A and B are shown apart, each in its own frame.
Chain A
Amino acid sequence: MAECGRVDSHTMDKSITLPPDEIFRNLENAKRFAIDIGGSLTKLAYYSTVKHKVAKVRSFDHSTKEAASDKLYEISVQEEVTARLHFIKFENAYIETCLDFIKDHLVNTETKVIKATGGGAHKFKVLIERKLGLKVDKEDEMSCLIKGCNFVLKNIPHEAFVYAKHADSEFRFQTTDPDIFPYLLVNIGSGVSIAKVESEDKFERIGGSSIGGGTFWGLGALLTKTKRFDELLQLASKGQHSSVDMLVKDIYGGSYGYLGLTGDLIASSFGKSATADKEFSKEDMAKSLLHMISNDIGQLACLYARLHNLSRVYFGGFFIRGHPLTMHTITYSINFFTKGEVQALFLRHEGYLGAIGAFLKGAEEDNPNQYSWGENYAGSSGLMSVSPDMYPMQRARSGTFDMLEMDRLDRQLVNLPLLQEPSSYIPDTVDLTEDAPAREYWLFCFEDALDGVVKRAVASQPDMPEAAVRAEKFRQKYRHKLQTLRYQPFAYGSLTVRSLLDTREHCLNEFNFPDPYSKIKERENDVALKYYQKVVKSLEELSWEDRQFALVRGVLAGNVFDWGAKAVSDVLESDPEFGFEQAKRQLEDNSGVDIILGVMPLVRELLSRGTEVVLASNSGPALNDVTNGELQILTERIAAMDPVIQSGLRDDRLTLVQNGSSSPCLDLSRLDKALAMVVRERKTDLVIIEGMGRAIHTNYFATLSCESLKLAVIKNSWLADRLGGKLFSVVFKYEVPAGKPSQEAAVLTP
């Protein structure tokens, strides 16, 4: 049974006031509410539209407005409306306060109904209907859970994790197979429900057990006179079950060697309390009870998994809900019973599944499943450990709230069809969750760079006086995120350089700094365009062999112009004269500003050799990376002066596509569907990935089913050290998939 029947409003410190305006964000435009009321926590979901500033580039019409401006293109900051899903979790005690707040701020009148699920939904039905004036429409809990589970598994990378108590990092996040079905969902509420999920619309409750969280709570309360679930877990964490349980060694004197059962195994739970006439400590009894229940659930889950031949088993419900202790005992039990064949998987947003599912049921007309959604790191609390001893950051948050925000992405995201093994693809090169020295370094690095980012953010909006205030808010928010990640690196899945960069982008967007680099990019592009023909001409004068080296150097030199790398931004900011020629010298004789003088000449060369080129760039801004919008204009401009590019565009041999990303890094499992389609249609046989973010921080180990070339300049001395090289040394990684002849190798390897 999934139901967490009794609604137990905790006695809690009522003096902690909930800051509702920080929690119920964008309520003005909110519509479609859903609520999941559990035994102690309420989860509210709503859909809202968010206005935020975006930088748009627009080409001037040069024929009519001749010399109206000497600018390359027009950058305008526009308001764009995007969809966002808000999920908020708070203790039941706050439900009335929260409903009042929502009522006061709810302007939208379209909404008539609120979808509700969870064991407490009926209890608060009247209250909700009275306060909000919405009709409560109850949805089945199990189907909501499963709908929610499908949604997070599909849309949130690193949603699922394996828990390992004694490992370096307790949470090992799983790369989710793009095909998430079939799986087993074991929901441990007051009882246990076990469901087999075969597709988006097909699931079956295949079994369950009455021994669940309610048994731990109820029986635990009787045995220990401790009322609260969390307190019982606290007791259990300090207890010794072996004083209450009859172990194999208590019966055998040692192990039962014949069956290979070690002496420490539990032969009979509470077996000692049946024979020994003595007092047992509360802690020991709680621990014994926890083991008994976890083992029992684990055993049943394994039996069901085996019967239905399923290897993916997700656990959820209030018994689990982020409690390290229960995750540990369940994991232990599953390992024991399946000898490692089945892994117990947990979900980062497990607590929200019901609310998400209920919401989705009410939002079917908006087709939320048609879009891709992304976790907004700026607006989401992330996974928190509930153990205050283990994670000091938690203390400040206890008894308050937790949030998840998901942005609807403009583009539907899919796998790059050329990924060798989509199910095992990991974009990131270093997992900072598991690599403590690397984590230390990068957290320091990002914190250190924060002043510069703030400065540039302000500078990017010179005509907005309040930019400084917003920039300061951004600083605080991002710094707080960094601090959180220092203590809880697993908060948003595996911590990586990519996630740190993305979090920064999300925070910048949050405070309306959509593209702090737009002006710098424009200036650089403008300068580079002036040199384009010169560069092309000098390349053409070279012999074929020299030209190849020059082209590659050009791409790499251009790559030095990366404001994201501190080493570079230091040089650039201290010396305004530092330019392309210098960058070339730094790399001992090179050429090109990233896209125009580096990549474009290479594209040109490929086109003139008869190769079709698909040029993929970011959909949205990230640092100084060129966006698809900018690239469209730049390519037109180049085409105007270069017949090779022009004919390439005209004959459709040069295609510009957006990649669906707004990150300096690249996740090849989440690319624009249109790009994936072009890649498939054109039968792409070579992928060139350029830049430190896309080829080193991510995808360095990615294996593709076609030839690939990863090239970048290492612009970070720590990383250079890590990789065994020097600052500004070059990575040029050409790979041929196993079994294919490497014809091009001789040509491209310098």
Chain B
Amino acid sequence: MAFNGHQHDNEIVDEDETPSKLPRCNKEMHGHLRNDPQNEAAAPAGPSTSDRWASNATPRHRKDSVKKTRPPFPWFGMDIGGTLVKLVYFEPKDITAEEEQEEVENLKSIRRYLTSNIAYGTTGIRDVHLELQDLTLCGRKGNLHFIRFPTHDLPVFLQMGRNKHFSSLHTTLCATGGGAYKFENDFRTMADLQLHKLDELDCLVRGVLYIDSVMSSGPSECYYFENPTDPDHCVQKPYLLENPYPLLLVNIGSGVSILAVYSENNYKRVTGTSLGGGTFLGLCCLLTGCSTFEEALEMASEGESTRVDKLVRDIYGGDYERFGLPGWAVASSFGNMMSKEKRESVSKEDLARATLVTITNNIGSITRMCALNENIERVVFVGNFLRVNTLSMKLLAYAMDYWSKGQLKALFLRHEGYFGAVGALLELLHPS
């Protein structure tokens, strides 16, 4: 999501949630809570704000809240974005025989369906490599699964929910992203499900901080590129995100949101841009006739953007020394395409590559300016635009390093696009 220019100032409010009630959860979750931003700079005061929080209040009255301190299974967190739906599912592995007996058939069937497949229908995919095993969540041990499917296939998903009688499980479905609002009615009418809607940025921040905190074994969640300005020696290296604040969190989905995170419960939305993953894919589809993100990336990896872009050296014959601009820098994205002959000589791959470079560099520029304005040196890039997109990650790493003369560090997270959904799951387990 990218909504331009609105800030999101969060008041630092006392956390007077009652950790004693939730002894086990609290250990894992402490600090990942975000309080109600009562004094919202950008949000209008009045009905819309209070409505939102009124609807949030409902899950607090779950009957098991005092006795068992955790909601019934299944545990889902959902993030319905402009392009993709991201779903995280917690599969309990410590089910006792007694539980097994009590467990209704529907629940079993859902668990079996999700965990025994890696693809669902024609477009649903489980990112097996991201699965978090032996995770303790709210006192339960299990695996966390990461699933995605295109937002336009949401009706299929709802139909499946209906067929599997999901609503009979009386679960609370925590959902974030714009789709939680847009499709709320569809969830109710098509699948008889009541959504618990959550703010996407709250969920995002919460999800990032949580995943980073639990990833102690296995591959490091956070990584960076060493020697970003030297293509031959540019390698991915783990990064220990200890004491991460302040950090700039750049979420590149269909659009881009940039957040400044100052502590676990204090962040603001600095700005955003509408030139994001959706723009890359949208332009690629129009320019090359491709239809999927993977296809577009594949083409981009084979193309040459310098045939499409006009570089500084195309204008000045070399560096523009007076202003310290290197000859290889892009002077005008798609600038060569002003000429008819050059339009006719470029390949689709070149165009895809140029689109990727244009969008990525632009995100880099805006991010760098935000980092300067906010006086933050660490930037974490997340979002599904970066999925299998090493090209963009290296470009971002390069841009941050080069233009800031080494001042800025670009960091990346393995679960790039799933943090909103994780945040939504955390809300289910430990409502703020």
Question: Residues on A close to B: CB < 8 A?
Answer: 1, 3, 5-6, 8, 39, 119, 140, 142, 189-191, 205, 207, 209-215, 217-219, 221-223, 227, 244-246, 248, 250-254, 256-261, 265-275, 277, 280, 285, 292, 295-296, 299-300, 302-304, 306-307, 336-337, 339
Contact = CB atoms under 8 A, between A and B. Distances in A.
A306 B331 CA distance: 24
Nearest to B272: A267
B177 interface: yes
B266 interface: no
Chain B interface size band reads: 35 or more
Contact of A275 (B4, B48, B150, B279): B150
22 contacts: A1-B315, A6-B336, A191-B310, A191-B333, A210-B309, A212-B333, A214-B331, A214-B332, A218-B337, A219-B283, A222-B337, A252-B178, A254-B181, A258-B40, A258-B48, A259-B43, A265-B4, A269-B255, A269-B282, A270-B279, A272-B282, A285-B286
Interface stretch (B101-109, B165-173, B207-215, B364-372): B364-372
A292 B358 contact: no
Nearest to A140: B322
B338 A217 contact: yes
B44 A3 contact: no
The winner among B43, B181, B329, B334 for most chain A CB atoms within 10 A is B334
Interface string B247-267: 000000111000000000000
A290 to B, nearest CB: 13
Contacts of B329: 210
Contact of B83 (A8, A275, A307): A275
Nearest to A338: B5
Given A190-B332, A259-B269, A260-B44, A271 B282 contact: yes
Contacts of A306: 373
The winner among B150, B184, B276, B337 for most chain A CB atoms within 10 A is B337
Contacts of B309: 210
Contacts of A209: 362, 365
A257 B274 contact: no
B330 interface: yes
Contacts of A210: 309, 329-333, 335, 358, 361-362
Nearest to A303: B369
Contacts of A214: 310, 331-335, 338
B344 to A, nearest CB: 11
Interface string B306-350: 001110101110000011010001111111111110010000000
B399 to A, nearest CB: 11
Given A190-B331, A221-B337, A268-B278, 12 more contacts: A1-B332, A5-B331, A8-B338, A210-B331, A215-B333, A215-B334, A218-B308, A221-B340, A259-B201, A271-B279, A295-B273, A296-B273
A215 B337 CA distance: 8
B4 A252 contact: no
A337 B370 CA distance: 13
B279 A5 contact: no
A270 B331 contact: no
Nearest to A335: B5
Contacts of A119: 315
Q: When A and B form their complex, which 9 residue pairs have the shortest distance between CB atoms, in order from nearest?
A: A218-B337, A270-B282, A251-B178, A268-B278, A253-B182, A214-B332, A271-B278, A218-B334, A214-B335
B226 interface: no
B335 A190 contact: yes
B110 interface: no
B52 interface: yes
Contact of A211 (B150, B343, B362): B362
B203 to A, nearest CB: 12
A500 to B, nearest CB: 42
Contacts of A142: 322-323
A211 B1 CA distance: 21
A358 to B, nearest CB: 15
Contacts of A221: 337-338, 340, 343
A700 B211 CA distance: 69
A256 B284 CA distance: 28
Interface in B167-193: 177-179, 181-184
Contact of B82 (A8, A258, A267): A267
Contact of A270 (B283, B291, B340): B283
B285 interface: yes
A5 B310 contact: yes
Contacts of A302: 5
A251 B315 CA distance: 41
A300 B369 contact: yes
Contacts of B182: 250-254
Given A253-B183, A275-B150, A303-B369, A259 B42 contact: yes
A267 B1 contact: yes
Interface in B58-110: 81-83
Interface string B34-59: 00000010111000110010000000
A303 B373 contact: yes
A298 to B, nearest CB: 9
A267 B316 CA distance: 36
B82 A268 contact: yes
Contacts of B135: none
Given A217-B338, A303-B373, A205 B323 contact: yes
B392 interface: no
A224 B370 CA distance: 34
B332 A270 contact: no
B358 A211 contact: yes
Contacts of B315: 1, 3, 5, 119
B334 A274 contact: no
Nearest to B256: A268
B332 A271 contact: no
B179 A258 contact: no
Contacts of B199: 258
Given A214-B334, A299-B366, A251 B4 contact: no
B254 A251 contact: yes
A246 B366 contact: no
B49 A292 contact: no
A268 B282 contact: yes
B365 A218 contact: no
B287 A223 contact: yes
B273 A299 contact: yes
The winner among B6, B274, B372 for most chain A CB atoms within 10 A is B274
Given A251-B82, A292-B274, A273 B282 contact: yes
Contacts of A270: 278-279, 282-283, 286
B239 interface: no
Nearest to B282: A270
Contacts of B287: 222-223
A251 to B, nearest CB: 3
A5 B342 CA distance: 14
A213 B337 CA distance: 11
Contacts of A207: 365, 369
Contacts of A252: 178-179, 181-182
A265 B330 contact: no
A307 B373 contact: yes
Contacts of B147: none
A251 B286 contact: no
Given A258-B52, A270-B282, A292-B274, A336 B5 contact: yes
Contacts of B276: 268-269
B2 interface: yes
B27 to A, nearest CB: 30
Contact of B5 (A1, A277, A285, A337): A337
A277 to B, nearest CB: 7
A221 B325 CA distance: 27
A299 B49 CA distance: 28
Contacts of B21: none
B404 to A, nearest CB: 12
A244 B181 CA distance: 22
A429 to B, nearest CB: 39
Nearest to A257: B48
A304 B369 contact: yes
